Amino acid sequence: MHDKTNFSFILASKSPRRRELLEKAGYHFKPVSPNVDETAFDTSIGPAEFAKLLALAKAKSVAQNYKEKIVVGADTIVDFDGRIIGKAAGERDAEKIVRLLFSRPHKVITGLAIVRLKDNLEIVESDTTIVYPKPMTDEQIAEHIESGTWRDKAGAYAIQETGDQFVEKIAGSLTNVMGMPMELFEKLLTKVKK
């Protein structure tokens, strides 16, 4: 296990949820927004591969300016029967996504990449959690869309904000559904040489 007090890295993400999870766990890091056009990537490669590809692209885009440092990239998507569901484009899109996802179980996949350019370090893996939703009424869906909490979130919902209300149970990592699979992250860190 890494000594968190003298281990620091760059987080290639602007996600407040990822920052919060890492801060709570006691990590020292600097968040830097990656410059990656997510629409430029081919979704036909499959959901887990797509999440890993995006996580790596984000980490590498930030690593260009921090060649000596460890850079961590992450990307969370929702896999609904093999179809990749990302962030909603607007309210109508969010409603369509929510109606689809809360009709039956779906997978939340987070790709995680750790890179350090100076010694060509590159570790990329993904974690998958199955979410079993509760059926939502039209009224609940309308309230959820009106609340705006779906904005900038894969699958147009955030389990930490709506969890008990909309989710029956999950199989897998809760932090993965929140966008930063902490168990996988800590496992990958053991492969990183100082």
**Residues catalogued as catalytic:** 75
Distance CA 46, CA 63 (A): 25
Distance CA 194, CA 189 (A): 10
Helices (H), the chain: 16-24, 47-63, 91-101, 138-147, 159-166, 174-177, 182-189
Can you spell out the DSSP letters for 63-97? HTT-TTS-EEEEEEEEEETTEEE-B-SSHHHHHHH
Place of tokens 């980490």: 59
Distance CA 179, CA 18 (A): 6
Q: What angle do CA 194, 2, 75 make, to 5 degrees?
A: 85
Distance CA 52, CA 59 (A): 11
From residue 23, alpha-carbon distances to 16, 26, 38 in Å are: 10, 5, 26
* Cβ atoms of 116 and 63 closer than 8 Å: yes
